[in-house]
Structure 1
């Protein structure tokens, strides 16, 4: 009988320890479900901070960002994406668009449907890459040409003077090569107010005498026949009205951002918090790294891969020294708290007293590359308030 008893006990023990109860399963599912809902809500709120309802859909076609946009990003932002100088960028958004027409003529069409109607158009530029003349026609009596950019007023193959409006015109050397930039702000503003008026742009090349120039002599790169790095491009500078009254703008003596401490491993990619006993440490700035790869946004964000937002933590004990950057109000509150003059008055709080903006370079839904500046994203310094 002993072996049978052992078998029965084994079955009972096994049933108790390996088979979770219904309540346990429900609790585990609830915790997992709550965690998923919290993550979903958190990412939704983070997208709102970046002015988006949903993350862009790149469809796995992760193209290379135009060199102009990469250079512009590096001009306005440091390696962490923090703005070098808030006055370097006109507005807070720069968008690049590639030609959708790929015409045999020097004619271009740009789809601006991703630009919100509320955005204020500040400047619009047509970027064209001028190629060198072909060798067979290099030696020519013409040294300069007149290049003009027209706004097409109606969809017509004749392109007569009545069908177009001059936007920009200037002399170019026939033998030069490289990027040429033409202002087309007026046309883009009209397109934004009336989407149906966007019939595209036409570029003409004439001699100083007004006759047509040999197409082999003056050539511009097209999206159909040349490398992506030389494609015709429209660059749009706008302001979306989201600029905040940032604390950095209220301080004329904005200090340079101190370098973040070098962190290793996963600990370097998450916020490190103080132990309860460390609350006695004075108010200070601590790392808070936002990793776009961990969030799941690395597929559409070009730069930065993440950034250090920092956070403020610590105590504001009496007496408050100037190193704690206290406001007059915080100093008075600290005194009232220390003297117990009024019941229920707490010590001042350790908060960010200087904020910096960051820049994001990313692909939108139409695979255009956008450079956007976001205010109040990085704690520059902490103080007792």
Structure 2
């Protein structure tokens, strides 16, 4: 376990493993994930405690198991940097001979992903500072509209493990009214407001040609678990992937 993560920073943790396909299996498979504790004082046996039971389909490959409570316990009672899980499938025919969980090559080995909420706290502060109007049937002004991106539909599911997709959002709507102009995440909104509706306009009170448009003003990152060009499972936080706020620019 990394020693630079505090238990209070962990939002959730996931154990990922790849299930090998077996034509002899004729039904869904049930995996039992257990925490393998340290040797007892006499070192005569290892203690294991089941922490999750996961049922999978025959065609499923990568399996995700929530192990948040286990990882938090490891960090809260930091008595050893080494911990282990055991993965058993009693319903698998292959389990009688060898493990149905892939361990080679290296990119197929089980791995642990720990998510921290340091970034989430920063994002929550942004949310409290400014909220965009959400688009709806009666909303015509600048607002945020849902846009779900499916990695399978765009042909990326062969290398992106998680998530299967995400809501990227986009901005749309009118910026012609004074109320719409003030819904802006930019320092420009005050100037634009004066230019379009200022009493001392050089054009005699008419609107100038400059017209603001509804655009994204703040973004959130997206965390990906993917297979890189070397067939290595990698976790990366990609910036500016999700529209957080919209404004008239």
Aligned to 1:188: 71
Q: Describe the SS at the equivalent of 1:242.
A: helix
Q: Which of 37, 46, 54 does residue 153 from structure 1 map onto?
A: 37
Q: 2-side partners of 1:233 and 1:213: how far apart?
A: 20
Residues 377/310 of structure 1: CA separation in 2 closer, same or farther (3 Å cut) = farther
Q: Does 1:112 align with 2:2?
A: yes
Q: Report the alpha carbon displacement of residue 195 of structure 1 after superposing the two structures with TM.
A: 2.9
Q: Describe the SS at the equivalent of 2:122.
A: coil
Aligned to 2:131: 249
Aligned to 2:96: 214
Aligned to 1:60: none
Equivalences for residues 274-313 of structure 1 within 5 A: 312=188
Q: Which structure would you say has the larger RCO, counting Cα contacts within 8 Å and 6 or more residues apart? A: 1
Q: What whole-Å deviation, never above 9, does each CA across 1:168-199 have from its counterpart, x for those lacking one? A: 014456x5451122221110111222333552
Equivalences for residues 66-81 of structure 1 within 5 A: none
Residues 370/116 of structure 1: CA separation in 2 closer, same or farther (3 Å cut) = farther
Residues 379/143 of structure 1: CA separation in 2 closer, same or farther (3 Å cut) = closer
For the pair shown, the structure with the greater C-alpha radius of gyration is 1
Q: Does 1:239 align with 2:128?
A: no
Q: Report the alpha carbon displacement of residue 203 of structure 1 after superposing the two structures with TM.
A: 1.5
Q: 1-side partners of 2:48 and 2:239: how far apart?
A: 35
Residues 168/376 of structure 1: CA separation in 2 closer, same or farther (3 Å cut) = closer
Number of residue pairs aligned between Structure 1 and Structure 2? 180
Q: What whole-Å deviation, never above 9, does each CA across 1:206-250 have from its counterpart, x for those lacking one? A: 249xx993234x51111xx2251x231223333112222335535
What is the alpha-carbon root mean square deviation over aligned residues?
4.7
Aligned to 1:369: 235
Q: 2-side partners of 1:168 and 1:145: how far apart?
A: 14
Residues 185/206 of structure 1: CA separation in 2 closer, same or farther (3 Å cut) = same
Q: Report the alpha carbon displacement of residue 167 of structure 1 after superposing the two structures with TM.
A: 0.8
Q: 2-side partners of 1:376 and 1:129: how far apart?
A: 29
Q: Describe the SS at the equivalent of 2:31.
A: strand
Aligned to 2:53: 169
> Contact conserved, 1:356 with 1:375, CA < 8 A, in 2?
no
**Gap runs ≥5 in structure 2:** 136-142, 145-169, 173-180, 201-214, 226-232
Q: 2-side partners of 1:176 and 1:317: how far apart?
A: 57
Q: Report the alpha carbon displacement of residue 378 of structure 1 after superposing the two structures with TM.
A: 8.5
Q: Describe the SS at the equivalent of 2:221.
A: strand
> Contact conserved, 1:357 with 1:376, CA < 8 A, in 2?
yes
> Which structure: greater helix fraction?
1
> Which structure: greater strand fraction?
2
Q: Describe the SS at the equivalent of 2:131.
A: helix
TM-score (norm 1): 0.36
Residues 129/382 of structure 1: CA separation in 2 closer, same or farther (3 Å cut) = same
Residues 177/360 of structure 1: CA separation in 2 closer, same or farther (3 Å cut) = closer
> Contact conserved, 1:152 with 1:164, CA < 8 A, in 2?
yes
> Contact conserved, 2:56 with 2:63, CA < 8 A, in 1?
no
> Contact conserved, 2:34 with 2:52, CA < 8 A, in 1?
yes
Residues 379/215 of structure 1: CA separation in 2 closer, same or farther (3 Å cut) = same
Q: 2-side partners of 1:359 and 1:245: how far apart?
A: 13
Residues 372/166 of structure 1: CA separation in 2 closer, same or farther (3 Å cut) = farther
Q: Does 1:179 align with 2:62?
A: yes
